[in-house]
Amino acid sequence: MRAKIDISHHVTPKLFWFVTLMILLLPVTTQYRLLLFGNYTTGEVVGEKYVRTLGLSALGPDKYPIIQFSTAHGKVIEFYGPENFDYPVGAILRVVYNPAKPTECMVFSLGAIYTSRKAIIPGILFLLWMAFYLAFRTKK
């Protein structure tokens, strides 16, 4: 008869929380230069636009708020805000932009950072990490 093989891995609580924190910070680190060195200002929601995506047209069009802000030099920039957020027209939002290239900008909020398309891979990594930890943890 064969002996049982132990496939559990020992992950200390400190290591678990460290890896979890690193994965959760990945969406922030993709924008770190803009967040650290960008100029902060306020923008106003001036409208919304519905856009159909090719692959997911069965789910209906995605709604993007149109946000307008002025740079420090007085140039007016207009950009699409985060996908499917319900900001009323006239809402004032915090915006961060690159002073050298003002069209490189984003709404400054946790919701905008963690629901952007750049958060998909970290979200999948987080799910895989949790599945790995829960499946292979040492049972007491």
In this structure, the dihedral spanned by the alpha carbons of residues 122, 26, 114 and 28, taken in order and rounded to 10 degrees, is: -170
Provide the residue type at 127 as one letter.
Answer: L
Give one DSSP letter per residue of 10-23, joined into a string.
Answer: ---HHHHHHHHHHH
Tens-binned pLDDT, residue by residue, of the chain (140 aa): 577 766 556 778 888 899 999 998 888 887 888 989 999 999 999 999 988 776 655 667 788 899 999 999 999 999 999 888 889 999 999 999 999 999 999 999 888 888 877 788 888 999 999 888 887 776 66
Identity of residue 134 = L
Contact 131, 3 (CB under 8 A): no
For residues 137 and 6, give the distance between their C-alpha atoms in angstroms, rounded to a whole number. 11
